[in-house]
Each structure stands twice: as C-alpha cells, then as structure tokens.
Structure 1
Amino acid sequence: MRVPGADLSTEEQATGRIALLAKALALSNKEDMSASPKKLIDFAALNLLRYPAKHAKDLRAWDASDEYLAEFIRADAPALLINDAFGALHCAVGVNAFHINDSWCSRHAIEINSQQSFTPYSGQALAYGLVKLPKSLSLFEAQLQEAARYLSAPLTLYFSGMQKHVSSGHLDIIKSYCDEVEYLPTQRKARMYTARLRPGQQTATPYLQAVPELSLTLHNMPGVFAGQKIDIGSRFFIEHFDRLPSAETVADVGCGNGLLSLAYHRLHPKAELHLFDESLAAVESAQLSFAANFPDASRQIQHCDGLSDAVANGQTFDLILINPPFHQQNTVTTDIALSMFAQARQCMAATSELWIVANRHLNYQAALKKNFRQIELIAQNAKFVIIKAKR
C-alpha cells in the first residue's frame, strides 16, 4: 500500500501541509468563534513527522488530546502553546504561535512540520493558550510560573492529556495557579480542563541533592530526569568508572544534571568534557551543578539533539558516555537511544570507545552489533548492563 507523501521530500511534504492548513484556517475564519468550538484540522491528512524519526509504525506525531485542544483554536488570534510535542498544534494555530517547550527535539519537529520558526514566549500579547500536560509535575509547575511572569491580566488556558497520563497532581497545580477551573467532558480518552492563569512573579529554583559518596551537590531544575533522587542506572555505571580509560575528550550524551561528567571529572580532572541534552532543564541543571562543584572544569554544555551538532561539525571524541532514555514524554520508545548510538559512531575514531549503561531488557547489544565491530559486556546486575563498543 502506498503511503501518502512517501515519495515526496520533507520540504515538499511540508509545503503540502501548509496548503492544507491555509485552506482549513481560511474556512475557520468564517466561523463564529464565540459559538461552540469546532475542530479545525484533520491531523491525519498532514503527514506530520515525529522526531527523531519513528521506528514503530503505530507511533504518531499527534494524539487525541491534540485533536481536542484544536477544537479551541481561535482563528488569527495569538496563542501560547506549552509542550507542543511535534508541531501539530503549531500547524493548526499558524504564525501566531508562541511556545514554552523544554525539548529541543520538539522544537525541531515544530520547525520541520510547520516550515516556520519556533518562537519562544517572552511576553508577546496573547489571546489564549493550549497546554499539553507533561509527564513531569515539577516541569508543569515551572512552565505555568514562566507564563504567569509575563501576564498583566489573567489568560484563558486549555489543558489536555490522555486520561491514563493525567493525575490529580496536574489538577492540583492548575488550581494553585489558576482561577475558574472547569472540567470538560473526556473525549476519546483525552481529558480537558479550562482555567484562567493568574499573573504572578514566582520563578523556578533548583532542588539541591547531596551525593556524599562523590562529595557532590547536584542542582536539579524542575523537569530534569531523576530530579529528586540519584538515577540507579547512573549509580551502577559510576561504580565501574575505575574501568574507564583516561581520555582527553569526553562526550556525555543525554547528560541530565551532569552527574556522569562530574564523576568522571573527579577521576580525570584534565579531561575536556562535552555535555549534550535535548532537555533545557537538564542543560541548566548541568551548568549549575558544574558551577557549584567544579567551576574551573573544562566543559561545554549544549542544548541539542544528542551529538547532532558534533556530527555536523566533524567532531570526534576519545570517550562517549551514554545513559539513554527509553521514553519520549509518556511514550515508550527506543528511537532516541538508537539515534544516539548512530550519532556516536560518527563521532568516533578508530581508538575511541563508547560506553553505555542501559536497562538489560532492551537488548541494545543486538542493535549495536550491526554498527560496531567490537561489543563487550563490562558488567551487569538484575536490572542494568554496561556495554563497551568500538568502531
């Protein structure tokens, strides 16, 4: 069966999406937006792309909560979009979209799918906002604080997420920062709230976490992975750091709060460290953690998709460390990990080493054997494996 748009380039597909959107939005201009809301966009017709490129055929770039939120779009009115995952909402809203979004991958997907620039929200005039409820409650609270800081009057927001991922904690946070909270009927397992966000001046602050066995204090911004506890995979990895080579250049891919790089620096203080994460909260956490613990360490910390910038610049590293995620928001996927491994191979010389800690049930060894000539199991326990790979 032919997949619509499969023989078109990404740019051609995006052009087709824009034409469909223009037609839909032109029709919506004729609607009275004060009347009952109507869904403006058929997302299935737009051939929206996930980023990184999807591997499981059942993963889409939108869900029922995007479709529910799209019913409340106001034609030609400027909108705040919080956590637009792959640009479905941006495509529906158009050029009047302003974003609060932690994810570099989401930002990139928005630009790919809309062929428009990602514009962060920084106080632009708004008529309303659409919010995809994130997995992290601390991130959600910080995002409402960020939005509220710019407001001079209450702003109507619509909040949605798939029912199985929406908790009472989300509603508690909405009630803490909003008035006139109303629950709307669930549609196709997508929950919906509407409320008025109050102006406010609260700012997100890091959670300080002591790691006495390493004489470190981590600074974890809201939303960073393992924000109030040490990730057990990283802890297991660090227990075997005495087996790592002494490298001149080290890449820490998906660095989170910087724990792996901090631990490596303690053992090898002369190493040049390069930290990468697609989460802005992670980048900020790593920056704060290094400033507090090793302010003079040689380091670069970047907000990007894994090693994508390093690949583009032709960089190589002596040692690459990866503790890969297997979730993208609430979706279980190995897409990000496989993308990291492919990028790592392009950033390795003949003598470089890639070290990975991962959940053992994911069986990454099979995928690694396709692209690396030497795979070695360094250590394992009931939950994790540590793998070394060479080109």
Structure 2
Amino acid sequence: MTTQFSVADIELELHRYPSEQESNLQAWDAADEHLIKHLTEIEQTAVTTAIINDNFGALTASLLSMDSQWPLLLETDAKTSQLGTQQNLAKNKLNSENIRWVNSREALPSSVELVLMKLPKNLSYFAHQLSRLSQVLPQGTQVLIGAKAKSINKSLLEVFAKNLGPASASLTWKKTRVITCISDGKVRSLPQGVTWSIPELKLEISNLSNVFAANKLDIGARIMLDNMPKGDFTSIIDLGCGNGVLGLHAKQVFPKAYVHFIDDSEMAVESARQNWSLNNLDTTDLVGEQATFGWDDCLTHLSEGVRPDLILCNPPFHQGEAITDHIAWQMFLQSWRALKNGGILHVVGNRHLAYHVKLQRIFKNCTTVESNGKFVILQAQKISKKAESHEDEYLAPSSDAPDSSQPSEPHPQSSLYGAKR
C-alpha cells in the first residue's frame, strides 16, 4: 500500500483510517492530487476555505503544509473521515488549531471564501451539500470539485446549476477533472427527508439524504426483519444502523430492551433518532431513556459499561468508491469484545462474501439461520470469556482476548481491540 503522497512539492505520509488496517487501498486518489495541483498552479493564497468530503485528510493536510495558518472548515458525514484526517494531521505534525469541524447538518458560516470538494458517490447527498452552500456563499464564490472524468456528464452539471450555480470542467489529468462552480448567490431550500412506511410492521421510516436505501426497504434488511433471533434480550446494538429499521423492529419484538443505534454516517444516526421518535417506541412501563444514538467508527468508542446480549449487523462491503471487507472484520471483532458472555451476533450479508468464515474464526461457532439465492443470515455466540476464539496478529493481546497463537489470514484494526472491557 502506497503511503507517500507527493504533488507539487508537497510531501506527506498518508494512511487510511485506522492505519493498522490491512488493505491495498491508499488514503487518497488522483482527484485529490488534481485539486492540489490546480491550487498550486493558480497560486491560491490562504483564505477561509471549506473542505467537504475529504476522505482521509489529503486535501486538509496539503493546505496546512502549504500554509500552517490556513483557516479551514471541514465538513463530513463520515466519522471515519474525521478520525482519519485527525490521524494524518498528527502523523505529519500539522497544526489543527485553525480547523472548525462540522457535520452535514450543522449550519455553515458565512465567512467561507473558497470551497474544495470531492464528488461523493451519492448524488442526492451531493445536491444537499450544494444547497447548503447556496445558503451562505455570496455570488461569485468559487467551488472546486475533484472528480473522476467518467463521472462528469450533462446531468451532473445540471445538478450544479439547479442547486448552486453554473459549472464547467477542466481538461482531464490522470483520468480526473476539476469542476469549477461559481455560486450565483441564490438561496435554495434544503431537501426534506424521504418518508415511507412498512405497513406490516406498522413502522414509518424517514431517511436523510446520505442514508442507504433512501426510499425503500433494502432486501438484506427485509430478510433480517423476517428472521429476528429468538431469546429474551435486554441490551441490543443496531451496528451500522442506517435508518435504524432493524433496531426499531427489535424494540417491537423485545419491548424490555434498551437499544443502541450506531453508524459511521451522522445522517444515518440522526435518521434513526428521528425514526425512534416518529414511531413512539418507548415502552411505557420502563423508566428513563430506552435508546442511545452514536456517531462512531463501528464500536470503537462504545462505553465500557455497555455489554449487549444481542448485536444486529448488516455490514457494508464498500467504503466510498472502494470495495473492502475490512469494515465487516472490524464489526465482527469488536462485537466479540463488546458482547456479554452468551451474547449473540446476528448478521445478514450477501452469500458470496463468505462471512461464515470470518465468524467461525472469531467466535469458533457460526450457524446459518436463513438463506435465499442472494443473502444469508448467520448467527454467532460468544460462548464464554475464555472462549478459544481466534484473533490473529492484528489484535493487541489482552487477558480476555481469544487465543492468537495460530497463524491466519490478516484481520484489520489491531490497536482498536487492545483495551480490555
């Protein structure tokens, strides 16, 4: 994996987050390089700059290496993006004191003079981001967007015109282009969340713009909803919750349960929060709050006191444009650590991803609950604290960790699991 970023006399060491993950994916792409190359060619000076969708901090680190006092506002919906940027700034000893962090729902300041963006995969989310910018950018403000050349077409340019202002694309360099959009100064309304229902479950679901399966129930969630685990669960985590539909239904099935909704997307977490309220799921005979909502990198910052007896998980197998299974590995490994003795991890995934192999390695048991031509539901149980489950060289040793003496295929995220629970 390449970690040396070198563009226009800027030299940085950049890692994907977390740096311990084993993958051949690097922390930046040619569109990042093209944007920095463009800024140096036009001799851009340090002005208050908003950086949006900077996956692991390549743009942020580059600007701070050009001028350590460059005033920056960083917007991201992904917790891993925020953590990755912080990791790479620290690794390159770059000052982060002049950075203001916001998520994709917080108000933007009117002081922004320049915007740098990476084109996200979700164009509905992109339109939302442009509309947000239209509410604060004065007429004539320049917005520069790095994108793959193949992603730029007439429809995309129309998204700019509709939500912010006219746009044009540069010549191609390394199969990427820099799109220049000039704010027209007209304020647009923000798009509203999409709301739809699941009549058979008596659930109303609302999704914000960057949430998976925006206007319908995805088929992986459907098979999971039809095959909830059996038991008397009182502490449940909906891991990678999206709009929260699995956790919402779990509360219907297990009314005495306390449910934790966790996702890398802040918009997903907020959607789950809104859906909990929308469906009035608090049980009247229980006192106090019955759900929490966490914006986090899987279970990295889960409270020490949370010991679930059930984790529901529909893992993603991509991170942005990249296809990767390291997130699933992380979810399964952190689930093993978080679960109380006898607790269950209940997973749905595409059959071809072979999650049963991973679960068998970690839990030393795995049962197929249901399957169809595309999806499979798997269940693994944490047998005991001293279970001879297997975590390899990726995991820092601890007294309650599974035996790691035997060689195995690489797993991600060693340092995340070294601390005892």
Which amino acid letter does the alignment assign opposite residue 342 of structure 1? L
1:144-168, Cα deviation, whole Å (9 max, x unpaired): 1222222344420111212344555
For 1:99, what is the secondary structure of its paired residue?
strand
**Residue 64 in 1 paired to residue 30 in 2?**
yes
- For the structure 1 residues 256 and 50, does the alpha-carbon distance in structure 2 shift closer, same or farther, using more than 3 Å as the test? same
Aligned to 2:293: 301
Q: Is residue 165–residue 330 contact of structure 1 (8 Å, CA) maintained in 2?
A: no
User: Alignment partner of 1:126: what SS?
Assistant: coil
Q: 1:323 is matched with which residue: 306, 314, 319?
A: 314
- Map 1:230-269 onto structure 2 (within 5 A): 230-241=217-228, 243-269=229-255
Which letter does structure 1 place at the counterpart of 2:379?
K
Change beyond 3 A, Cα 1:75–1:281: same
Q: Give, in whole Å, the separation in 2 of the partners of 1:80 and 1:41.
A: 23
Given the alignment of the two structures, is residue 188 of structure 1 paired with residue 174 of structure 2, yes or no? yes
What SS does structure 2 have at the residue aligned with 1:125?
A: coil
Shift of residue 315 of structure 1?
2.5
Deviation at 1:251, TM superposition (A): 0.4
Matches within 5 A, 1:332-347: 332-347=323-338
Aligned with residue 127 of structure 2, among 141, 144, 159? 141
Give the 3 Å change call, closer, same or farther, for CA 167–309 of structure 1 in structure 2. Answer: farther
- Alignment correspondent of 1:357: 348
Measure the CA separation in 1 of the matches of 2:76 and 2:244.
21
Kindly indicate whether residue 107 of structure 2 is the aligned counterpart of residue 119 of structure 1: no
Query: 1:292 and 2:294 equivalent?
Result: no
Which of the numbers 65, 70, 75 marks the counterpart of 2:45? Answer: 75
1:85 and 2:66 equivalent?
A: no
Moved more, 267-276 or 90-99: 90-99
- 1:184–1:46 CA distance, 2 compared to 1 (3 A): same
Q: Is residue 195 of structure 2 the alignment partner of residue 208 of structure 1?
A: yes
Query: 3-state SS of the aligned residue for 1:179?
Result: coil
d(CA) in 2 for partners of 1:235, 1:371: 26
Q: Shift of the alpha carbon at 1:197? A: 2.2
Deviates more, 1:200-209 or 1:219-228: 200-209
User: CA distance change for structure 1 residues 158 and 214 in 2, over 3 Å: closer, same or farther?
Assistant: same
With over 3 angstroms needed to count, the CA separation of the structure-2 counterparts of 1:176 and 1:360, relative to structure 1, is: same
Percent identity (aligned): 30
Q: Offset of 1:295 from its aligned partner? A: 5.0
**Equivalent residue, structure 1, for 2:389:** none
What is the root-mean-square deviation of aligned Cα atoms in Å? 2.3
Provide the rounded CA distance (Å) in 2 between the counterparts of 1:293 and 1:279.
21
| Counterpart amino acid of residue 54 in structure 2 | D
Contact 1:100–1:143 (CA<8 Å) still a contact in 2? no
Question: Which residue is 1:217 aligned to?
Answer: 204
Q: Quick one: distance in 2 between partners of 1:209 and 1:82?
A: 29
Post-superposition shift, 1:169?
3.9
Structure with the larger helix share: 1
The alignment's TM-score, normalised by the length of structure 2, stands at 0.79
Report the residue type matching 2:298 in the other structure: G
Residue ranges of structure 2 left out of the alignment (5+ in a row):
65-69, 91-95, 103-107, 284-289, 383-421
Asked if 2 retains the 8 angstrom alpha-carbon contact of 1:181 and 1:194, the reply is yes
Q: Is the 8 A contact 1:358 1:384 kept in 2?
A: yes
C-alpha distance in structure 2 between counterparts of 1:302 and 1:292, whole Å: 18
Amino acid paired to 1:79: T
1:239 maps to amino acid: D
Q: Secondary structure at the match of 1:316?
A: coil
SS at match of 1:59: coil
Relative to structure 1, the CA distance from residue 111 to residue 78 in structure 2 (aligned partners, 3 Å threshold; closer, same or farther) is same
Paired letter, 2:101: P
- Report deviation, 1:317: 0.5
1:49 to 6, 10, 15: 15
TM-score by length of 1: 0.85
Q: Is the 8 A contact 2:116 2:143 kept in 1?
A: yes
Q: Which residues of structure 1 form unaligned runs of 5+?
A: 6-16, 21-38
| CA displacement 1:203-241 (0-9 Å, x = unmatched) | 231101111121111010001001112111000111111
Question: Mean alpha-carbon deviation: is it higher for 143-152 or for 352-361?
Answer: 143-152
Provide the residue aligned with 1:271 in structure 2. 257
CA distance in 2: counterparts of 1:168 and 1:245, whole angstroms:
53
Give the distance between the partners of 1:4 and 1:326, measured in 2 at CA.
23
- Pairwise CA distance, 1:124: 5.3
What is the distance in 1 between the residues matched to 2:183 and 2:20?
Answer: 35
Match of 2:192, SS state, is coil
Task: From the superposition, tell whether residues 40 and 98 of structure 1 become closer, same or farther in structure 2 (CA, over 3 Å).
Answer: farther
Question: Separation in 2 of the partners of 1:344 and 1:53?
Answer: 20
Partner of 2:386: none
